[in-house]
Structure 1
Amino acid sequence: MKLAVVGTGYVGLVSGVCFSELGNEVICVDKIQEKIEMLERGEVPIYEPGLKELIESNRNAGRLSFTTDLADAVRRSDIVILAVGTPPLPNGEANLSYIKDAAKEIAQAMNGYKIVMTKSTVPVGTNEKIAAIISEYSVHHFDTVSVPEFLREGSAIKDTLNPDRIVIGTDSQAAAERISALHRPLTDQILLTDIRSAEMIKYASNAFLATKISFINEIANICEKVGADVTKVSEGMGFDKRIGSSFLKAGIGYGGSCFPKDTQALIQIAGHVDYEFKLLKSVVEVNRDQRFNVINKLETILGDLSGKTIAVWGLAFKPETDDVRDAPAFEIIQTLIDKGAHVKAYDPIATDNFKKLLVHPEVKYCGSAVEAAEQADALCLLTEWKEFTQFSIEALQKLLKRPILIDGRNVFSEEQLAGTPMIYYSVGRPGMNQGVREQMPVLQF
C-alpha cells in the first residue's frame, strides 16, 4: 500500500518505518526541515534501539522516503496517517492545533479518495472534528479511521511489529477492511469498533497502567512502615491472572510522553462531561509525590542538604530512550538545587536533551558514571540503565566521599550489598536498608 505518515516523532517515525518493513511504500512528512535533512543523511533524531538500521535498509530498498512537502505526499498516497503531537495545554487538555492544521493541509492536497488514519492520541470526538475540517476544505470522498498506538519507548520497534492487539475505529466497512489488511501481517488480534470507543481505549489503557504503577508505589510506602518487601508482594500479586505482573514494579513513579499527558487529558475529558474522575486524580497525585521520597531518604541520612554534593545516575524517564519529558529526575534535581545541594548528573544517552530543560550553575553534567560519583556525598540512582545495574558496589563505595546510595529503581540485591559498608535505601524494601537501620514498628491489633 502507499502511505503518507504526517509527523516524525516516536509514533510517526516508528510506525512509518515498520510499515515500510512490511513491504509498503511509505513517505514520512515533517515540517521541520532540519529533521528531514537528518533522516535523509541516515541520522535519527530520536534514540530508539534498532530504528537506524531499519531506516537504512528500507531506504535502500526504495520503500521509505522523507519530505517536508505534505501536499505531494498526500497526492501520492492512498492512506494518510496522522501522527503529529498532541502536547498538553496548561490545564491538562490535549493541544489539538497540530491535528487541525494537518487535517486542513491534507484536505487541500487531496486528489481523490483517501483514508485518513489517526494514530495520535486524541480526546474522544476528535476524529469527528478531523472529518468536519476535511469536508470543509475538500470535495473528494474520504474515510476517517482511529488506530491508537500502544508502543513503548525503548522497545517501540518490537511493540509495533509484535502488537498485543490492533484497535480500528471507523464507521466505514471499506476503510475497516483496508486498514485491517494493512495490519494483518502483524497480528490476527484486530478489534473493530466505532471511532469514539477506539479513542477512549487508548486513554483507558494508559490510565489503567498508570494506576497500577501508583498502586504498587503506595503499597511500597506501606511496606516500608510495616516491614514487608514490596518486590515479594508484587511477585505474589502478579501470579494472579486477574492482576498480572506487568507494571507492578515499585520505584519513583512514571514519566515520559504518554502517562502524564494522557492521565491529565482523561481527567479533563471527564470534567467536560461533568464527571469527576477521583481515582485518576489520586493516581496523578501519588505519582507526583513518589519521586520526592528520594529527597526524604537523603535528608534522613544527611540531614541538611545545603552544601552537599549529590550524584544522580539517570536522567531519562526510563532506560533505552533519550526521552526526558516529565522524567522524575527533573523535579528531583530541581528540589536538590532548591535545598542548596550541588548536583553531578550523568545519563548514557539523555544528557543533551536534559540540558535543554535545565541549565544551572549548581548542576554539573558528567561524561561518565564514575565522574558523577567521584567524591559525592551520596548517589541517587533514578534510571535503571544496564550500565548502572552492573556497576560494582565495591567500586562505587570507593568513588563516593560517603558510601550512600539511594536506589530509586530497586536494582541492587541483598547479595550485592552483603559485606559492604554501603548505606543503602531502596523503595519498599525496609529489610534491605543498611547503614542506617530503622526499627520495625510494633503493630497493634
Structure 2
Amino acid sequence: MIVRRLKLFFAVALLATPFAYAGEFDDFEKSLMQDSESTDVADTATSMSTSDAFEQSLMSESGTETEKIYQRREALLESIKQGDTAQISQGVEELHAMRTEDLVPLADVEAEAVFIVKKMWPQLLKYEVNLYKQFYHEVISEQVRFFENDGLAQYLKNSLSSYDTSKTLLAHVENDIDNSSLPESDKLELKILLLLSDAYSDQRVNERIKRLSQMYLNKYPDHPDAKWIEKSVAGPFFRNDFLEFMLQDRAEHKEENIAKKFYTGGLGVNLFLVSGGLAFGMDNLYRSDLFEYEDPSIYLEIYLQFSRVSFSFELLPSGASGVATYSLGLGYVVYDSRYLKVRPYIGFGMPAMILEAKKDCYVAMPGGEKEYISAGDNDMYAESAAYTLAVNVDYKFGTAYFLLSNSMLTSFSLVGKFGISYMEFDDTFVKGSGVTPFFAFGLGLYLW
C-alpha cells in the first residue's frame, strides 16, 4: 500500500510532470495529466458529462458519506472562486479529516494545487511538511477511491493547464515564493519540498535539492525542522551520491579510523635536513693535509613497519664531520598516538667518508708502493663497520586519508632522531674508531 501511495504521489504531483516511477495510472491521475489542448477542444462536452456523472452519483448515493464529500468539495470550489483563504484552509482541513483507508475526499495533489493557484504559500508549506512527515504512516487500500470528474477537479486541471510539464514545479512558482512575505527559512524549506515531486527523475534536481538542503542546514541549524530535513529529506539524496556519501562518512569516522590504525604498521620516509653531534676518539681519522671531506647533501631513512616491528634502511648522520653511515635497522614502536610516535631501533651498517684531494701528490701505500693522486679527485672510503642505537620521535602534524581510500591514512610529521654509534674505519686513507652521539631533525611522510 505504501508503494502504491508513492507511485500515486510522485506520478501526479501537481503538474503532472514526468517522474521516475512508471506504472498504470487510474482515471483521476490521467485526468490531471491531460494536455490543455485536449481540454480546450472538449471543454463543453466534458462539462456536460461531468455534470451528469456528478448528478447521477448524488442520486444513487444520496444520504451517504460520499454525498457529504461531494458537497464539501463543491463548497471548497466556491471558496476558491471567492478567494476566501480562511474558508479554503478550513475546507481543505475538513476534507482531509474525512480521509479513510478506502476514501480520499481530497487528493494531496489537489490540495497542493489549491494552495498554488491561490498563492497560499504558508498553508502550502504547512501541508507539505505534514504530508512528508506522515508519508510512511498512512494506510491506503488497494481499492482506494478518489473523487474525480467533478467541478473542483476540472477547475484545478484548467488552472494548471498552462504549466510546462518539461519544467519542475518549483520553476513555475519560485519567483512568487521569493516575492512572498514568507520568512527566508520557510522560503528555502518550501523550495526543497516542492522539488521532491521531481526527485530521482532528473540528476540536476537531485543536485539542487542537496545544495538547498545544505544551505538550509548551514543557515538554520536550530530550526525545528532542521533535524528532519537532514535525516529524512536531504539524507537520501546525499547517500544516493556514492562518492559524496563515502567522503562524508569517512570524515565523520576519521578520528575513529585513526585510532584503529595505531600500531598496525605502514611505510615511512624521513628526510633529515639538520644534523649534528660529537665524536670521541676520532681526532686523526684521515690525513687532513692531503684531503678534505664532503658532507652528504641529505640524510634519508626508509622504513617498513609490521604491527610494532620496523625494518629500516638509512643514510645516517653521525657526530663526526664528514662521516655518514649506510645502515640497516630493526626497531620497535613503544608508543603511538594521534600526534606522537616513538620508535627506538638498533642498526648495523657501514660508515663512509668522501674525501677530495687538495693537491697533486704521491701517497705511500701499504707494501711500499706509491699512488699518484690528482687535485680535485674524490673517492669514498668505507672498509669499516658501525653499530647504532637510536630512537625516532615523530610529531604527526597532519593526518588525512590517502587519496580516495576510506581506511588507508597518510601522515606528515616533524621527525627527530637521537642516537649514538660506535664505528671503526680500516682503509688506506681513513683509519680509527670512536663513539659518536648524534641528532637529526627533518620531515617525514608515513603511509599507514
Q: Please identify which structure carries the higher strand content.
A: 2
Question: Which has the higher Rg, Structure 1 or Structure 2?
Answer: 2
Which TM-score applies when normalising by structure 2?
Answer: 0.20
